[in-house]
């Protein structure tokens, strides 16, 4: 790239002119927490009820399990190339608009899923999810620029729990709608579409714009390419991203098949409620425990907590298929959820404290890039190995978790990050 094409950064005083000095970081955290929770709620319902939805559509049993993995991977296919652009647009123009856009698109996606009656229609709807991605890193950047340093670990841990809690509430709400109210699976997605519209309004009227300390200047495509190149050029960031991607990959390999374990243990009667118990109630309890990792990371360091969380998650993930009853499956899922919920805030903490300030916003904008890549590869791997049995994706995922913990343990602790 020539010197004229190199993106420039707008630092210091100019960036401060765009800030809202009276922005209360706790209010911002609350608004973003609800937004992230509702997003997780909707996506979790797709994961939780996708196998049952395909069965209702008449997909043959021999094709259904591979379809579960392959359709799950579609969620991230379209969104992955757009992630750097959303971050650039957020930093250049408005974080608030980018976050509101995500909630509106999610409402459209869930409405399309509710209206789907054929597998191809469902597949097309899931592809649209890619257009709603890219908001979590933007919210993280705003929280990082608003929260005081001594509360950063706690703020990130509280925000990190929003997604897991949404993933817990979604299946429970879906089970109530299907088994309690008798409305059927399409109604589950329609209700969540309405909640997404509400969160779009919440962000629009309940939050203020928070500008980054360094505002990028230049063409969006060049900035997006430069952001990816700049982030990946830092060896420390590459290592952290690799560990984050490993954790996501491990979970994505088997997560689409948790409802299948419930099906085989519980049977068809009350199936939605049983899925809600395992993927919902247990995950909710685990998510409420997970924020303890934030203060613990502040005290003893983010890396030791991350190592323990990955190791424990791997062991429990491999044990899930051995559960003999639905309550036992829910109990294992509870502890797994607590450990897995610790992973994200620990990685966010490492990135927020070890990355130079001039690249920090770009890095946090791209923090979920490993998720999108793992979201394509993981379910595809699961679809390939599930032919060996429903337990195979969980055994493979557990092994990947454990490998990730060993990799973190072997990494040298970096010195204080130096500015570029």
In angstroms and rounded to an integer, the radius of gyration of the C-alpha atoms of the chain is 21
Average pLDDT over residues 400-406: 94
pLDDT above 60 for 220: yes
Cα 149 from Cα 141, distance rounded (Å): 13
pLDDT above 90 for 102: yes
Per-residue pLDDT, 17: 42
Q: What's the pLDDT band for 416 if we cut at 50, 70, 90? A: very low
pLDDT above 60 for 177: yes
Alpha carbon dihedral 84, 86, 154, 157, in 10-degree steps, equals: -80
Per-residue pLDDT, 359: 67
Q: Is residue 287 part of a domain?
A: yes
Per the structure block, which two tokens stand in for 27? 């209010």
Q: What's the pLDDT band for 288 if we cut at 50, 70, 90? A: confident
Average pLDDT score, the chain: 84
Q: What's the pLDDT band for 226 if we cut at 50, 70, 90? A: confident
Q: Is residue 214 part of a domain?
A: no
Q: What's the pLDDT band for 284 if we cut at 50, 70, 90? A: confident
- Return the minimum-mean-pLDDT range out of 1-5, 46-50, 295-299: 1-5
Give 140 or 320, the one with higher predicted confidence: 320
Name the residue range of residue 54's domain: 20-208+227-410
CATH number at residue 188: 1.20.1250.20
User: Could you tell me the pTM of the whole model?
Assistant: 0.77
Q: Which of 79-88, 176-185, 206-215 has maximum average pLDDT?
A: 176-185
Q: Is residue 106 part of a domain?
A: yes
Per-residue pLDDT, 23: 66
245-270 per-position pLDDT tens digit: 899 999 999 989 999 999 999 988 88
Average pLDDT over residues 308-326: 94
Q: What's the pLDDT band for 412 if we cut at 50, 70, 90? A: low
Terminal-to-terminal C-alpha distance of the chain: 18
Cα 166 from Cα 189, distance rounded (Å): 14
pLDDT above 70 for 3: no
Q: Is residue 418 part of a domain?
A: no
Q: Is residue 12 part of a domain?
A: no
Residue with tokens 């608003």: 146
Average pLDDT over residues 320-332: 93
What is the number of structural domains in the chain?
A: 1
Q: Percent of the chain at pLDDT above 70?
A: 89
- Return the minimum-mean-pLDDT range out of 42-56, 177-191, 340-354: 340-354
Q: Is residue 189 part of a domain?
A: yes
Q: Is residue 9 part of a domain?
A: no
Q: For 350-354, which contacts have Cβ atoms below 8 Å and span 24 or more sequence positions?
A: 350/240, 350/302, 350/303, 350/306, 351/237, 351/240, 352/140, 352/144, 352/152, 352/156, 353/152, 353/302, 353/417, 354/236, 354/240, 354/414, 354/417
Per-residue pLDDT, 415: 54
Average pLDDT over residues 67-74: 89
Q: Is residue 404 part of a domain?
A: yes
Q: Which of 44, 334, 55 is nearest to 174 (CA)?
A: 44
């Amino acid at each position: 790239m020539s010197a004229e094409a190199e993106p420039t950064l707008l630092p210091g005083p100019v960036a401060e002119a765009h800030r809202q000095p009276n922005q209360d970081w706790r209010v911002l955290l609350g608004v973003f927490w609800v937004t992230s929770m509702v997003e997780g709620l909707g996506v979790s319902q797709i994961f939780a009820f996708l196998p049952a939805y395909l069965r209702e559509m008449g997909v043959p049993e021999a094709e259904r399990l591979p379809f579960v993995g392959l359709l799950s991977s579609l969620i991230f296919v379209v969104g992955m190339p757009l992630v750097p652009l959303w971050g650039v647009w957020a930093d250049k123009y408005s974080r608030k608009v980018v976050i509101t856009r995500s909630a509106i698109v999610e409402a459209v996606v869930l409405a399309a899923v509710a209206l789907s009656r054929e597998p191809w229609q469902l597949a097309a709807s899931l592809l649209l999810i890619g257009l709603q991605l890219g908001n979590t890193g933007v919210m993280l950047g705003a929280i990082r620029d608003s929260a005081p340093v001594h509360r950063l670990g706690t703020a990130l841990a509280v925000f990190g729990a929003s997604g897991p809690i949404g993933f817990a509430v979604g299946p429970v709400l879906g089970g109530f709608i299907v088994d309690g109210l008798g409305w059927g699976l399409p109604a589950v997605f329609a209700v969540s579409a309405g909640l997404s519209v509400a969160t779009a309004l919440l962000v629009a009227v309940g939050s203020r714009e928070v500008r980054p300390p360094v505002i990028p200047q230049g063409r969006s495509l060049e900035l997006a390419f430069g952001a990816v190149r700049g982030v990946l050029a830092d060896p420390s960031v590459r290592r952290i991203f690799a560990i984050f991607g490993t954790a996501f990959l491990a979970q994505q390999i088997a997560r689409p098949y948790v409802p299948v374990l419930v099906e085989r243990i519980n049977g068809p009667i009350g199936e939605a409620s049983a899925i809600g118990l395992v993927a919902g109630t247990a995950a909710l309890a685990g998510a409420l425990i997970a924020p303890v990792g934030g203060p613990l990371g502040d005290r003893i360091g983010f890396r030791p907590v991350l190592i323990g969380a990955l190791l424990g998650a791997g062991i429990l993930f491999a044990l899930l298929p051995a559960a003999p009853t639905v309550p036992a499956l829910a109990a294992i899922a509870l502890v797994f959820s607590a450990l897995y919920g610790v992973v994200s805030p620990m990685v966010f903490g490492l990135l927020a404290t070890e990355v130079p300030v001039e690249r920090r916003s770009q890095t946090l904008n791209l923090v979920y890039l490993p998720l999108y890549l793992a979201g394509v590869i993981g379910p595809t791997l699961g679809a390939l190995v599930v032919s060996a049995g429903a337990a195979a994706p969980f055994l493979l995922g557990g092994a990947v978790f454990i490998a990730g913990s060993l990799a973190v343990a072997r990494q040298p602790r970096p010195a204080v990050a130096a500015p570029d």
